[in-house]
Amino acid sequence: MNLLAVGIGGAIGAVCRYLFGQMIPKMGSGFPLGTFAVNVIGCFAIGLIVAMVGKHSDIDPRLVLFLQTGICGGFTTFSTFSLETLALIEDGCFAVGVLYIVLSVLLGLLSLLAAKILVGGWHL
């Protein structure tokens, strides 16, 4: 049942991300406004969910999985990244939180570059 909740939510989130990205064109500078907006909205949404669960312990865990892991995860993994980073900082692990940010961005970009080089798709 948990897998179904996550899967259905993920499908909804992914479709919403695609539609949202299509509705908002890139700005003149090429800035990916649609992706940026999706990431910010996803972070706000996951923040609402976490706050509501914190205030209302009677919320069905499957609903949380559907909304947080499913919809928000399908909409943007950036929201989960942000939630985990904030949790590290709130738990007093500031240095680990900063390390997580730096390594995630740096290794994400390097992995993308390595894959493009591997298939011959990288150029300046």
Q: Residues forming the annotated binding site for Na(+)?
A: 73, 76
Sequence ranges of the binding site: 73, 76
Q: How far apart are CA 73 and CA 67, in angstroms?
A: 8
Residue 19, judged by CB atoms within 10 A of its CB (0-12, 13-18, 19+), counts as exposed
Structure token digits, residue 108: 């994400």
**Element at 13 (helix H, strand E):** helix 2-23
